[in-house]
Amino acid sequence: MKPVIIAVAITGSVPRKKDNPAVPVTPSEQIESTHQAFEAGASLVHIHVRNPDESSSSDCALFARVQEGVRKHCPGIIVQFSTGGRGRDPAARGSALHLKPDMASLATGSVNFPTPTKTRLASLKDLQRR
């Protein structure tokens, strides 16, 4: 059998506890959820972090806490940070990349986002320079 990569996006950028009480939004919940997925066979985790009000965040300290816990409890899992701009300050999208995750996603836009992709071009060019 060929090896496969099973990716898990434990939180996403939109769902909140009111939408689904099982959505992990705190760093400890995200670490635990990732560990459960890791034990079930996940080999890559896509991470979004949240502010205390559950909105999307670019807070480097939150990314660092989640990454530290995931690395401790899920040895060998590939850590991928979200750099998506939905609900976050576009200028801060790549602010946690200095933490050196294994990967980072780059969503250039989508036809179902409420604002046009064209408005994101300047922030994408800034990410490219990092």
Give the list of residues 6+ apart from residue 32 with CB closer than 8 angstroms, or none. Answer: 24
Q: Give the closest residue to 80 by CA, choosing from 43, 40, 46.
A: 46
Answer whether residue 99 shows pLDDT above 70.
yes
The answer to whether 6 touches 38, Cβ cutoff 8 Å, is no
CA distances to 12, 16, 43, 124 from 68, rounded to whole Å, are: 19, 23, 16, 27
Helix (H) or strand (E) holding 122: helix 121-129
Note the pLDDT of residue 1.
85
The CATH number corresponding to 7-129 among 3.40.630.30, 1.10.490.10, 3.20.20.70, 3.40.920.10 equals 3.20.20.70
Give the pLDDT score at 83: 85
Residue range 15-52, pLDDT digits in tens: 899 999 999 999 999 999 999 999 999 999 999 999 99
Helix 27-39 with 60-73: angle, nearest 10 deg: 30
pLDDT of residue 110: 55
**Of 4-8, 94-98, 114-118, the least confident:** 114-118
What are the boundaries of each domain within the chain? 7-129
Per-residue pLDDT tens digits for 44-98:
999 999 999 999 899 999 999 999 999 999 999 999 999 876 666 777 778 899 9
pTM of the model: 0.81
